[in-house]
Amino acid sequence: MKKIVPKISFTLSLQMRSKLLLLSQQYTFRFGDMVQQMKIY
């Protein structure tokens, strides 16, 4: 049981990291789009 818990927490942390990375990438892309639109106007 003690050996299983660390694996679960590790996989969860990896999933959370990947989700956070995806979210941050999406936000940076949106921010870049906003900046470009402001430059056009």
Higher pLDDT residue, 19 or 40? Answer: 19
Higher pLDDT residue, 1 or 15? Answer: 15
DSSP 1-41: -TTHHHHHHHHHHHHHHHHHHHHHHHHHHHHHHHHHHHHH-
Tens-place pLDDT, residues 10-36? 899 999 999 999 999 998 989 889 888
Rg for the chain (alpha carbons), in Å? 18
Distance CA 19, CA 41 (A): 33
pTM for the whole structure:
0.54
Distance CA 18, CA 10 (A): 12
